[in-house]
């Protein structure tokens, strides 16, 4: 087996999550419960999946941690930023993804995870009105304050390394602009000039993370790290970027079905899907400018697999409709309103 050049995963790993909502608190609670042996990390590829290594008599199936150095769950420390000041326990209860039996055993640890002030601009998520927000004169200052947060967290928690994950609301769609997003120099100039139209708060988080030597993962469909300027920064700092969107709910179904349809050369007439969201994610996505970001990302999943150019007879004219239904949470009707993760409905029509 080829020897890995990845540095050993020694010391504590700080996972700083942007947004302390449904996804973030479910992730945190899962890790905390699993490491106490109170839950199984079902759904976690790093904990369960195996990869085949070697051939013939040498063939063996190994967990990821046996191939590359990976942090142990016991070495993880969580930090977070959010527009709302509720700690991770309060946020997990509000999210209603997990039941009390899943949350209470790690209540103390969750209560200790308190959001730092968010780098936020209401124009990017109009429906949110929390006040746990930084006051920054420019986008550059926003990034500088985030860098300071990362340094302080790393020191206070005695972490040897940090990774930053965006699990915050989907921002409005920011299209690629050649004059701002092409080079790192352009991006930095625009941040200093406080170009709020082209520099989303998420770009400040990504910029801060990469500059501080932290990998950045984009869990929303935002275009944050889809721009050459960010790739340049990632190359310069030799930090990985990944994303976008977590591809967990409806998108996962699409990613699974599309290859089946393609492999069997079935034609596709249409794909119709609905996400039913009752949490802040749904509230934010109820705004057309924010929904557009999700829509663009979801459309691309199907169309990169079933390509019209390759097979015009089969995929030449797919009717594709994605809807997100938001049901405001109502305490009197749990079923209709308060589901926090997406509950997906979908239909396909084959030729
Ligand atoms: N829930 C799912 O199954 C799922 C699947 C794939 C992708 N996603 C994406 O993951 C993200 C999180 O989803 P969720 O269900 O946890 O949503 P959520 O609404 O429960 O949580 C998002 C949190 O982000 C905070 N926030 C918004 N802007 C912020 C900023 N600039 N800085 C810091 N905090 C900010 C909000 O106040 C909120 O608490 C969304 O973008 C969503 O589209 C969710």
10-residue mean pLDDT profile of the chain (351 residues): values are 72 98 96 96 93 94 94 97 98 93 97 98 93 97 98 98 96 96 98 98 98 97 96 97 82 85 88 71 82 77 83 83 58 38 57 61
From 169, 196, 277, mutation site for ligand 1 pocket: most ligand atoms within 8 A of C-beta: 169
From 19, 86, 209, 276, mutation site for ligand 1 pocket: most ligand atoms within 8 A of C-beta: 19
**Long-range pairs for 179-188: beta carbons < 8 A, 24 or more residues apart:** 180/229, 181/227, 181/228, 181/229, 182/227, 182/228, 182/229, 183/228, 183/229, 183/232, 184/229, 184/232, 184/233, 184/236, 186/229, 187/227, 187/229, 187/230, 187/233, 188/140
CATH fold of 250-350: Dihydrodipicolinate Reductase; domain 2 (3.30.360)
Q: Is 165 exposed, middle or buried (0-12, 13-18, 19+ CB in 10 A)?
A: buried
| The pLDDT value given to residue 282 | 75
| The pLDDT value given to residue 250 | 74
**190 CA to centre of ligand 1 in angstroms:** 26
Q: Report residue 102 as tokens.
A: 């899943």
Pocket-forming residues, ligand 1, beta carbon under 6 Å: 18-24, 81-84, 95, 118-120, 125, 128, 130, 167-170, 201, 219-220, 245-246, 248-249, 279-281, 341-342
Q: Spell out the residues 6+ positions from residue 246 whose beta carbon is closer than 8 angstroms to its own.
A: 23, 167, 219
| Count of residues in the chain | 351
Q: Could you tell me the pTM of the whole model?
A: 0.89
- Would you list the domain boundaries of the chain? 12-242, 250-350
| The pLDDT value given to residue 289 | 86
> Between 3.40.50.720, 3.50.50.60, 3.30.470.20, 1.10.3720.10, what CATH number should domain 12-242 receive?
3.40.50.720
| The pLDDT value given to residue 307 | 87
Q: Which of 351, 9, 323, 20 is nearest to 169 (CA)?
A: 20
Atom of ligand 1 nearest to the CA of 280: 19
Q: Which residues pair with 321 in a beta bridge?
A: 272
Atom of ligand 1 nearest to the CA of 245: 7
| The pLDDT value given to residue 317 | 79
Helix (H) or strand (E) segment spanning residue 38 = none
| The pLDDT value given to residue 245 | 82
Q: Which of 260, 242, 275, 254 is nearest to 344 (CA)?
A: 275
**350 CA to centre of ligand 1 in angstroms:** 33
């Amino acid at each position: 087996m080829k020897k890995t050049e990845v540095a050993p995963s020694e010391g504590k790993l700080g996972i700083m999550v942007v947004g302390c909502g449904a996804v973030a608190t479910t992730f945190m609670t899962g890790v905390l419960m699993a490491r106490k042996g109170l839950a199984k990390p079902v759904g976690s590829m790093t904990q369960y999946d195996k990869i085949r290594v070697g051939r013939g008599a040498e063939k063996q199936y190994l967990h990821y941690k046996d191939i590359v150095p990976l942090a142990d769950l016991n070495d993880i420390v969580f930090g977070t930023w959010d527009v709302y000041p509720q700690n991770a326990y309060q946020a997990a209860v509000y999210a209603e993804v997990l039941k009390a039996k899943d949350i209470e055993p790690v209540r103390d640890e969750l209560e200790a995870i308190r959001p730092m002030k968010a780098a936020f601009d209401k124009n990017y998520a109009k429906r949110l009105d929390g006040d746990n927000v930084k006051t920054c004169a420019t986008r550059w200052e926003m990034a500088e304050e985030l860098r300071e947060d990362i340094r302080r967290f790393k020191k206070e928690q005695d972490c040897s390394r940090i990774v930053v994950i965006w699990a915050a609301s989907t921002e409005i769609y920011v299209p690629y602009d050649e004059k701002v997003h092409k080079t790192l120099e352009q991006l930095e100039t625009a941040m200093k000039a406080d170009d709020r139209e082209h520099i989303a708060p998420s770009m400040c988080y990504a910029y801060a993370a990469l500059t501080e030597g932290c990998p950045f993962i984009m869990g929303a469909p935002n275009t944050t790290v889809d721009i050459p300027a960010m790739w340049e920064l990632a190359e310069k700092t030799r930090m990985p970027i990944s994303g976008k969107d977590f591809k967990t709910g409806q998108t996962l179904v699409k990613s699974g079905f599309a290859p089946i349809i393609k492999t069997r050369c079935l034609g596709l007439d249409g794909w119709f899907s609905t996400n039913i969201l009752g949490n802040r994610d749904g509230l934010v996505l109820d705004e057309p400018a924010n929904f557009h970001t999700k829509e663009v990302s979801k459309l691309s999943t199907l169309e990169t697999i079933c390509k019209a150019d390759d097979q015009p007879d089969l995929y030449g004219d797919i009717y594709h409709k994605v809807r997100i239904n938001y049901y405001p949470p109502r305490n009197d009707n749990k079923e209709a309103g308060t589901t926090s993760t997406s509950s997906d409905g979908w239909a396909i029509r084959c030729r």
